[in-house]
């Protein structure tokens, strides 16, 4: 017997949210499927919050740091990355969540969701054209950086334990790995 999975568009997903159907659930839309999000443990909450504060002070007026807020992607996805570094569009975000062209890069903190973040989300972000994607592995306390989109996937994947990084969008800005990992 073949099972057929019902796929949802971003518009249908928004209608479900507006109708209150998903109000008591922590979910996100990934390639048309409504996926339960893992509960956020203490290390996850602490590390992502501290990193967001650090990036906010580091980038200043260059970007807006959004924490655990939706981004709207063209592949029927509306994930809620732990941190999204986006253009400062002010009130425009009252009308829509950031689109790929508004996003400099995204960061996910992963413990129980590591496989989803490394496999599924990396493909979703690459297919949407997000040029840079960072994943903090909370189990091993290292940072994985995905770059260089080729055929809808990231061609480059580097792992950092220490050191500094220049984000693609801001080559004159130096980010300390330790302040993203928050060991």
Mean pLDDT confidence for 109-114: 86
Q: Residue 144 pLDDT > 90, yes or no?
A: yes
Going by the DSSP 8-state scheme, the letter that residue 138 receives in this structure is: T
pLDDT band at 116 (very low <50, low <70, confident <90, very high): confident
The band of 88, judged by pLDDT with boundaries at 50, 70 and 90, is very high
The pLDDT value given to residue 172: 97
What percent of the chain has a predicted confidence (pLDDT) above 70?
99
pLDDT interval class at 94 (50, 70, 90): very high
160 falls in which pLDDT band (50, 70, 90)? very high
CB 110 within 8 A of CB 117: yes
**pTM of the model as a whole:** 0.92
164: tokens are 């500094």
Q: Is the CATH number 3.90.1570.10 carried by domain 39-181?
A: yes
Segments of 74-177 assigned E as strands = 83-86, 103-110, 133-137, 142-150, 153-160, 164-165, 175-176
Q: How far apart are CA 136 and CA 142, in angstroms?
A: 6
Task: Examine the pLDDT at 25 and tell me if it is beyond 80.
Answer: yes
Average pLDDT over every residue of 130-140: 96
pLDDT at 177: 97
Tell me the per-residue pLDDT of 33-83, one tens digit each, with 9 for 90 and over.
888 887 888 889 999 999 999 999 999 999 999 999 999 999 999 999 999
For the chain, give every domain's residue range: 39-181
Q: What pLDDT does residue 4 have?
A: 75
Determine contact, residues 79/71, Cβ cutoff 8 Å. yes
Comparing CA positions, the residue from 157, 92, 99, 97 lying closest to residue 123 is: 157
**Core vs surface per residue 91-124: b (16+ CB within 10 A) or e:** eebeeebbbbebbbbbbbbbbebbebbbebbbbb
What is the spatial distance between Cα 129 and Cα 15, in angstroms, rounded to a whole number? 26
């Amino acid at each position: 017997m073949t099972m057929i999975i019902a796929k949802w568009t971003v518009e249908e997903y928004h209608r479900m949210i507006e109708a209150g159907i998903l109000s008591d659930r922590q979910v996100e839309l990934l390639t048309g499927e409504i996926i339960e999000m893992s509960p956020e443990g203490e290390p996850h909450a602490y590390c992502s919050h501290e990193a967001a504060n650090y990036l906010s002070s580091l980038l200043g007026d260059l970007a807006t740091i959004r924490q655990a807020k939706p981004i709207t992607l063209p592949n029927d996805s509306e994930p809620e990355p732990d941190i999204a570094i986006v253009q400062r569009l002010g009130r425009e975000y009252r009308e829509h969540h950031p689109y790929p062209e508004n996003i400099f890069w995204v960061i996910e903190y992963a413990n129980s969701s590591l496989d989803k973040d490394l496999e599924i989300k990396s493909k979703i972000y690459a297919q949407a054209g997000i040029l840079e994607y960072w994943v903090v592995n909370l189990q091993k306390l290292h940072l994985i950086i995905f770059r260089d989109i080729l055929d809808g996937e990231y061609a480059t994947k580097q792992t950092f334990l220490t050191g500094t990084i220049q984000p693609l969008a801001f080559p004159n800005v130096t980010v300390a790995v330790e302040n993203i990992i928050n060991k």
